[in-house]
Structure 1
């Protein structure tokens, strides 16, 4: 129900995503509004919003599950605990798949579905993907967490590209299994706390072919198998294992490639600390000019950048502020509010964002 902002109250729930005049997401649908949220809407000159109607009759709907706002009003903390539990199920699932593939050389599709599907179902309503991934991330079990994250991100990207739920789930499973070939790589190399030698790196690169073989022998659809083989290929031919270029790379592999790069860079690894969120998005944007598919990358960035609105940042001047506006013309130089004043980084080229706090 469209409601004038002057009549909106704290505790009201948004029925749909709310965008500003630049077409950027300000608040996601399902948000239960706080006073800060309402102030943000005023700041962006939004005059009315779509509010979930409130019903006087508690029996207006037959069951809680059928109530259109039942998921929207679930406390964020409870919702996150459910996501976190499903995330752990997915991690435990991929561990079992790695062990099974190492022993038997194959994996069961039912095990993939039972590991990944509960997580996909839990995150369908989540809008702030950037915060969600960072909140779930820990320093433990990088290989397994990375597989789960790439599956989750691939699922989101496919949905953002307008693919059906069935296609998105295939993308998610492809991401979930993209590194399954690492089960055949010695742990001494996988977990080495330092730079790999040339020979060790050559050994690591074999995981792409190993993963393809395991997926094919397990009877998975060819696009999923190709994603395991090609997720390190690059449009300019600089990738591996076959130095494929452009259209020779399967579309699903291109989705998984973007998800793989993003997850790797936001994660702590034995030889590398995670990178700041904005730095990672800048790097992925750079890679869209020749390495990563530009359509997939642009869609990914377009959906991740709005997550930054409302986030706290540290500027190179030492000041702390909040991102209040991101322009389509320059994603990475937003408008920052510090106290009572605004700093436009598009104009203040002497300043940089040093860190984004989720």
Structure 2
């Protein structure tokens, strides 16, 4: 059964090998957990682990699948951050700059409260709506950038900076005409060229607003791609700032799960699979794989439909074979990493 590290009891036994965010082996399946092992996992920033069933526990089923619980403050704080993002865009357009105190009021309270949340997939789904896409997207990218930096092992100060960079990455869109920003149909070539100016606009605004060059560079470079086919400068690989690489991954995920960007909401597991494919050309592979490795366990407890026509519950994920988990169907278990003829067609979130 899957538990958060804070819920582990002395004497619990690991049901699978533990790997850290960099893919390094930390503890072996079958290890009995005590204070020494728990300290080791804290040092490697392990959030979740699979342990053997405790006496009195029953296997998960659709009726008993865990339901995420959330800090009740998150929803109003999220909407406050969305409203704050809109005000930042308005100020940036009017004054050509923004102020630290505005971010402290709008985004920082959300950071303080969501850092303890565990199920990132359900958290974003719970908070998401179709209104104010541009501003919601800014908040979501800020949240995801914070998590990604944390999963990469960055310091708390650096993770907060990454969240801030994600929150502000699209601020340059304040200078793009609303008719282009809010257009429901595909942009014309001329409109697309105008839209491609927003990274430079954002860089100019943030450079004049803060002394932190990484924040401005994240805005400037979040559409650059590892293969050099991004914009505005066609940078490749190591020429792209690490903060911008993180924001790029967060930006792509948030856009992919939005019906605004892709016409209809897409299955989240398939979105991660698409991002995995992008990691071989466009997105930084280490950052993308770390993101996927930490997002996949959030699907444990979710109901899925299979190509076999059956439905079941994801009960365990694999650290290397991301998209082929162990699924419980009734009293049986299907290991999709072994039975490769069966695939997941839909995840019910």
State the match for 1:115 in structure 2.
106
Of the three residues 116, 121, 126, the one matched with 1:125 is: 116
- 1:194 and 1:270 in contact (8 A); partners too: no
The corresponding residue for 1:20 is: 15
Q: Considering only CA atoms, is the larger Rg found in Structure 1 or Structure 2?
A: 1
Q: Which residue is equivalent to 1:135?
A: 126
Matched, 1:268 2:259: yes
Across the aligned residues of Structure 1 and Structure 2, the Cα RMSD in angstroms comes to: 2.8
Q: Using the TM superposition, give the Cα deviation of residue 119 of structure 1 relative to its aligned residue in structure 2, in angstroms.
A: 0.7
List runs of 5+ in structure 1 lacking aligned partners: 6-12, 42-74
Q: Which position in structure 2 is the counterpart of 1:38?
A: 57
C-alpha offsets along residues 32-84 of structure 1, whole Å, 9 cap, x if unaligned?
A: xx99993359xxxxxxxxxxxxxxxxxxxxxxxxxxxxxxxxx965x442111
3-state SS of 1:194 partner: coil
Number of residues of Structure 1 aligned to a counterpart in Structure 2: 310
1:176-227 Cα offsets, whole Å, 9 max, x none, are 0000001111111111111111111111111110100111121341000000
1:313 equivalent in alignment to 2:304: yes
Alpha-carbon spacing, 1:240–1:334, altered in 2? closer, same or farther (3 Å):
same
> CA contact under 8 A between 2:255 and 2:261: conserved in structure 1?
no
8 Å Cα contact 1:151-1:171 kept in structure 2: yes
Gaps of 5+ in 2: 21-45, 61-66
Residue 247 (structure 1) shift: 0.9
Q: Alignment partner of 2:58: what SS?
A: helix
Instruction: Pick which of 335-344 and 196-205 moved more.
Output: 335-344
Aligned to 1:219: 210
Does structure 2 conserve the Cα–Cα contact (< 8 Å) formed by 1:147 and 1:177? Answer: yes
Give 1:172-321 correspondences, 5 Å limit: 172-269=163-260, 272-321=263-312
- Work out whether residues 68 and 122 of structure 2, in 8 Å CA contact, stay in contact via their aligned partners in 1: no
**Cα distance in 2 between the residues matched to 1:18 and 1:264:** 39
Provide the rounded CA distance (Å) in 1 between the counterparts of 2:211 and 2:204. 10
Provide the residue aligned with 1:152 in structure 2. Answer: 143
In 1, are the aligned partners of 2:306 and 2:342 still within 8 Å (CA)?
yes
**Following the alignment from structure 1 to structure 2, what is the Cα–Cα distance between the partners of residues 120 and 241?**
30
CA distance in 2, matches of 1:267, 1:109: 29
Residue 342 (structure 1) shift: 2.2
Match of 2:348 in 1: 357
Candidates 157, 172, 176, aligned match of 1:166: 157
